Amino acid sequence: MKYLIKIVGVFITVLLVNVFPIKTAMAQDVVKVAPQSYKVLLENDRVRVLEYRLEPGVKEPMHSHPDYIVYAFSAVKAMITLPDGKTVERQINVGEAVFLVAETHTVENTGTTESHGLIIELKEPQRK
């Protein structure tokens, strides 16, 4: 009987981890953790459009985005730090738009001027 209980316990654990993943730590909404830098311009069931302004040397707290598009009004030079500590330098030229997959990160403006642009976060389309 004890053997059967252990097998059932392992089965339930595998099921929960693989089929119903539990998020132990969830990064916060960038508008909530850095309201001085982000302003919501539009939000509906399909997208959220944010204007951002990040001064040189400013580092935002850890936050998440779903799949998103960044459009740069000014040159962007930033150091992105992922939850595992890995860093990536990201540069976006004036007038350039880039598509980025969902990620959790911190962002530090490593440029010499304010970074200014739009972020368009994509939401899952409404199911009929």
Asked if residue 78 belongs to a domain, the reply is yes
The model's pTM is 0.75
Higher pLDDT, 3 or 15: 3
CATH number at residue 40: 2.60.120.10
Asked if residue 48 belongs to a domain, the reply is yes
Asked if residue 8 belongs to a domain, the reply is no
Cα distance between residue 62 and residue 104, in whole Å:
7
Helix (H, G, I), strand (E, B) or coil at 75: coil
Cα distance between residue 113 and residue 93, in whole Å:
13
Of 107, 49, 96, the closest CA to residue 73 belongs to 96
pLDDT in tens, 7-32: 534 444 433 334 433 333 456 999 99
Kindly tell me the burial class for residue 13, based on how many C-beta atoms sit within 10 Å of its own C-beta (0-12, 13-18, 19 or more). exposed
